[in-house]
Amino acid sequence: MQTLSENRCFGGTQGVYSHAATTTNCDMTFGLFLPEEAQDGPVPILWYLSGLTCTHENAMTKAGAQQWAAEQGIALCFPDTSPRGEDVADDEAYDLGKGAGFYVNATQDPWARHFQMWDYVAEELPALLAENFAIDMDRQAITGHSMGGHGALTLAMSLPGRFRSVSAFSPICNPTGADWGRKQLTAYLGDDETTWARHDASLLMAETGFDGPVLVDTGTSDQFLDLLKPETLAAAAAKRRQQIQFRMQPGYDHSYFFVSSFMEDHVAFHAEALYA
């Protein structure tokens, strides 16, 4: 692992690191904020998964999460959204290939060699953090924005007992039924739609739900509402009687102005679960 930068931040340290990842067969970069409390022992961690076109840097610099994480004594991890490198497959469209990993393990060419983002986020990166930093891996929570909200919800519901809480900002809720999803799932996983279901938050909510608190915020002026399909997740949660806070925020769009406006709420929500 290589340290690319470390900066003092709200009494803690905001670092950026790279490493040769075996899951994605390329070098991966991630951001990690450690609060001051990490100097004295392991701290709980909140994962933040970013959306389409993003890298580790977007939320790290735009979400304003470090201030609230420092107040709560929580680490923040900002993984990248896809593999990177000259030999990594890509597409001319912004919503496929680099910056658009969709947090799945690709099975189709040319994506399968590098696009193993599920295993990277679920297995390899947590193991790396546990080995190298003062993080209490028994206290994990997860959140994300847009494509990252989709990833956060699907990981949380598919890995029972891993995360104490899950939240999402403007998540892609029903990728099997929307253009933000069907295109990518076909490319990465193939035409057999039965393999897509484990990556659809609304279908997972209906089938298994989440054993813990859930918070979802979406703006009523989000320009991508028809692609996000928040109503499908709300309906599945209501039918299942899932413990959930589902909020449509008046006038907010899909931007990081929206994310940063409600970041304090989300960090406090996770802190309550992490310190319960």
Annotated active-site residue 199? The verdict is: no
Residue 73 — pLDDT band, cuts 50, 70, 90? Answer: very high
- pLDDT tens digits for range 224-275: 999 999 999 999 999 999 999 999 999 999 999 999 999 999 999 999 999 9
Which residue in the list 80, 200, 217, 222 is annotated as catalytic?
Answer: 222
Using the structure block, give the residue that is written with the tokens 């295993």.
119
Write down the domain spans for the chain: 2-274
Annotated active-site residue 270? The verdict is: no
Domain 2-274 has CATH 3.40.50.1820: yes
- pLDDT tens digits for range 169-191: 999 999 999 999 999 999 999 99
Backbone φ and ψ of 43, nearest 5°: -120, 155
Annotated active-site residue 146? The verdict is: yes
Which residue in the list 56, 145, 254, 270 is annotated as catalytic?
Answer: 254
Which residue in the list 56, 80, 114, 146 is annotated as catalytic?
Answer: 146
